[in-house]
Structure 1
Amino acid sequence: MSSDGQAPDPAGAAPAPEVPEVPEETEHHDDGLDLARALTRATARSTPAARTKRRRTDPPRRGRVSGAHPDDRDPQLLDTTLSRLVDDHGWELDLRVHGVFGRWVELVGAEVAQHTTPESFAEGRLVVRTDSTAWATQLRLLAPTVVRRLNEELGHGTVTVIEVVGPHLPSWSKGRRSVRDGRGPRDTYG
């Protein structure tokens, strides 16, 4: 302890922060709120953030308005946000078509869906792959019915043509048993 009643300052210790002066007011209330307010104002003026110049005359930037009314910065529901994203990017038709791909079994029936798979959709043309040439023929016969059913789900005129492709077959154009200009084996896959 030093002679003035304070502990000695150890070497390397940071100096104590300065306590801002509290202006004396002419009236003093017994509850002490006036003293607390004055101390708070004095402390607020001495912070680094308060020292920076703020321009309150600048108009608020567009879209950055604060207030009681809802704006884009408020929390949004996920459904609303996803709907706006889909609308902005024009993904509505693509999502509906992929929904049809996911519900292929219920749209065409279990037996047909067991042997067919939708592969792609572009410009009104739906490409469907079958697992045998017999099912390719069957699906070509069912195509008008399937197109009507898909257009009921997706909207009139969305699917105009169903392109049916057969199974992935091995190529017989190379190898020991190939013949130049030969037609290869005929339909042996189904």
Structure 2
Amino acid sequence: MAQGPAEDEGEEHRTDGLDLARRAARSLAAAGGEPARRRPGRRPTGAPKAGRRGRPDDRDPQLLDGSLSRLVSDRGWELDLRVHGIFGRWPTLVGEEIAAHSTPETFDDGRLVLRTDSTAWATQLRLLTPQLIARLADELGAGTVASIEVLGPHGPSWRKGPRSVRDGRGPRDTYG
């Protein structure tokens, strides 16, 4: 009969089985194998319970994009950001030529007020209002801009200067 490693080293057989466990571990290590896997559902003593594993929460570092999105939605700033998108991205929304001759002035309750640099451009933009509303709905969301009011250029003020009238409204044959 072949002798085991414990018998070669002079170890005696122990009744608690510790010698058998040591022999099995040595032979496994010599063969380069892996130790046996634990049965599923069993956890070693001292291991954290399933409900206490480290999961991310609000105290952990967060990505800036997710944090800003959550802040915007919590504060209800979605519409405000879309509106400011109109002012900041006006040339890309309507095109360089229209943006060169018009600027958005105000936005309130779905009504966008545009100011043009000439009466000809004011007339042109009034004709293009349905297309502008559709384009802004595509870019900013449906219903963000419900109507557009187009204003012509500001006329000169007759309240000061050489052509001012002290107690009158000024000349009425120009700009009005």
TM-score scaled by length of structure 2: 0.61
The RMSD of aligned alpha carbons is 2.3
The residue identity in structure 1 corresponding to 2:71 is: L
Separation in structure 2 between the aligned mates of residue 72 and residue 182 of structure 1, nearest angstrom? 65
Quote the residue 1:76 is aligned against: 62
SS in 2 for 1:186: coil
Distance, in Å, in 2 between the alignment partners of 1:176 and 1:103 is 41
| Conserved 8 A contact 1:140-1:164 | yes
| Alignment correspondent of 2:22 | none
Say which SS state the counterpart of residue 59 (structure 2) adopts.
Answer: coil
Residue identity in the other structure for 1:170: P
1:184 counterpart SS class: coil
Aligned to 1:107: 93
Query: Contact between 1:147 and 1:161, CA under 8 Å: does it hold in 2?
Result: yes
Pairing 1:111-122 to 2, within 5 Å after superposition: 111-122=97-108
1:87 aligned residue: 73
The alpha carbon displacement at 1:121 in A equals: 1.3
SS in 2 for 1:68: coil
What residue number does 1:168 align with? 154
Shift of 1:166: 2.1
The alignment of Structure 1 onto Structure 2 pairs a total of residues equal to 123
Alpha-carbon offset, residue 127 of structure 1? 1.2
Q: Residue 156 of structure 1: CA displacement? A: 1.8
| Identical-pair percentage | 67
Gaps of 5+ in 2: 1-51
Q: Is the 8 A contact 1:178 1:184 kept in 2?
A: no
Indicate the structure with greater helix content: 2
3-state SS of paired residue (1:137): helix
CA deviation string 1:4-43 (max 9, x = no partner): xxxxxxxxxxxxxxxxxxxxxxxxxxxxxxxxxxxxxxxx
Structure 2 CA distance for aligned equivalents of residues 135 and 187 of structure 1: 16
1:149 aligned partner: 135
Q: How far does the alpha carbon of each residue in 1:156-185 deviate from its partner, in whole angstroms, 9 at most, with x for none?
A: 222111111222332124555345355534
Q: Any unmatched runs of 5+ in structure 1?
A: 1-65
CA contact (8 A) 1:119 1:129 kept: yes
Cα pair 1:173 1:184 within 8 Å, conserved: no
Report the equivalent of 2:124. 138
Q: Distance in 2 between matches of 1:174 and 1:141?
A: 35
In structure 2, the partner of 1:61 is: none
3-state SS, counterpart of residue 99 of structure 2: helix
User: What secondary structure is seen at the aligned counterpart in 2 of 1:128?
Assistant: strand
